[in-house]
Amino acid sequence: MSSYSRALITTPSELAATIPHLLGYYPSTGSLVMITMTSRTPTRIGVVVRADLPADDDQAMLVDHLLGIATDNRAAAAFLVVVDRPDTGQPPRPLPARRLLTLLTTTPTGHGIPVKYRMWVAELSPGARWCSYDDADDHGTMPDPASSVLAVERVLLGAVTHGSREQIAEILGPDVPSEVLDRRAGMLAAAPTAPPNPDAIDSVIRNAETGVLPATDEEVVLLATTLATPATRDRWLKRCVGDHPAAVERLALALVRGLPGRWRAHAESVYAFAVYLRGDGVLARLAAADALRAYPGHNLAVLILNALQTGMHPDRLRRVVEAAFLA
């Protein structure tokens, strides 16, 4: 799930071309993408959700889930795109997942969200075939997603659109050799939990603002032991919802990539929160799920995954975390 306040929309194919940049990656074949609109005139993009095309028995569950997300985020309309099957030069007949899209359009769920357009595309690449589910004469070829207005905006912001979801997951991988992780694991096992030091925490965050990150074993271990205390974690969260979100994100990722096992979960949950707030639901989900694998039951990671599951808007998550951890 990703969230954006607005984007220019002209034709269905141009909107579909923004999908990789709305999600942060190019979805694979066998995907359904729901783009919600928060208003109809002018058109503003809201929450964007990608899901695997389900088996027939699971379609009703996915329909309820997607329409629930649209309702919770007060969507005024939805745009549905199926990305499936290699391009053979002509749209397949029948179009894939038609029953699923029909359920999304007609299921009497009480949500009352009109579907603005239903579209099939072979893949999100220049020249790929696309067509409407509702008008066989409404078809064409895809423009280049890399040339869309949103693609240019992301470049200017320093954002990256990845080739796949798997490439995003690599962001969370270690950036130090395994022997360094083993050495730090030994140091952490022998280290006492460090008490919170607000001045020291703020100093480290200010350093991260200028690109200075912890590098030595001693620096990383000290930060890890302090972050294990709720008071320190809450101070990081305060800075994230306050005036240092980019610094907290940068610092948390440095710890995620430099810490072993269970110790990385505290930093990874803070990182998941930070990237969720800026609208990167895909990376937030990957980070929170990874934190739970390292530390089952981690309360902040659980909260973030639950928020993602319900399609909670980042602004609402901010308020929930402020009430739960920062009150």
pLDDT at residue number 5 = 41
* 172-221 pLDDT per residue, tens: 999 999 999 999 999 999 988 777 778 888 899 999 999 899 989 999 99
Does residue 240 share a domain with residue 225? yes
Global pTM value? 0.79
**Residue 71 sits in the same domain as residue 177:** no
Residue where a domain stops, chosen among 102, 132, 162? 162
* CB 303, CB 324: distance < 8 Å: yes
Q: What's the total number of domains in the chain?
A: 2
Burial string for 71-108 (b: 16+ CB within 10 Å, else e) reads bebebbbbbbbbbbbebeeebeeebbbeebbebbbeee
The whole-angstrom distance between residue 95's C-alpha and the CA centroid of its chain comes to 28
Strands across the sheet with 44-52, in order?
2-3, 44-52, 31-39, 77-83, 115-121, 129-132, 139-141
Helix H, strand E, coil C: the string for 239-287 is HHHCCCHHHHHHHHHHHHHHCCHHHHHHHHHHHHHHHHHCCEHHHHHHH
The per-residue pLDDT for 216 is 93
| Average of per-residue pLDDT across 1-10 | 52
Of 162, 189, 212, which residue constitutes the final position of a domain? Answer: 162
Q: Tell how far CA 133 is from the center of its chain.
A: 28
Q: What residue numbers bound the domain in which 96 lies?
A: 2-162
26-85: per-residue pLDDT in tens?
Answer: 999 999 999 988 865 556 788 889 999 999 899 989 998 888 888 888 888 889 999 998
Instruction: Identify whether residues 155 and 222 lie together within a single domain.
Output: no
Same domain membership, residue 113 and residue 185: no
pLDDT, residue 320, reads 84
Residue 2 and residue 278: Cα distance in Å, rounded? 9
Q: Return the DSSP state at 84.
A: -
Clarify whether residues 82 and 190 are in a common domain.
no
| Model confidence at 6: pLDDT above 50 | no
The DSSP H or E segment spanning 237 is helix 230-241
Same structural domain, 128 and 198:
no
C-alpha–C-alpha distance, residues 71 and 36, integer Å: 10
Residues 174 and 320 placed together within one structural domain of the fold: yes
Q: Which residue has 């998941």 as its token pair?
A: 272
| Cα angle, residue 303 at apex, residues 297 and 308 outer, rounded to 5° | 120
pLDDT for 310 equals: 82
What confidence tens digit (pLDDT) does each residue in 90-105 have? 778 889 999 999 888 8
Kindly state whether residues 128 and 244 are assigned to the same domain: no
13 and 83: one domain?
Answer: yes
141 and 191 assigned to the same domain = no
133 & 280 share domain = no
Q: Residues with Cβ < 8 Å from 164, sequence gap 6 or more?
A: 25, 26, 28
Domain termination residue (choose one: 143, 162, 181)? 162
Q: Are residues 217 and 238 in the same domain?
A: yes
Confidence of residue 156 (pLDDT cuts 50, 70, 90): low
pLDDT at 317: 87
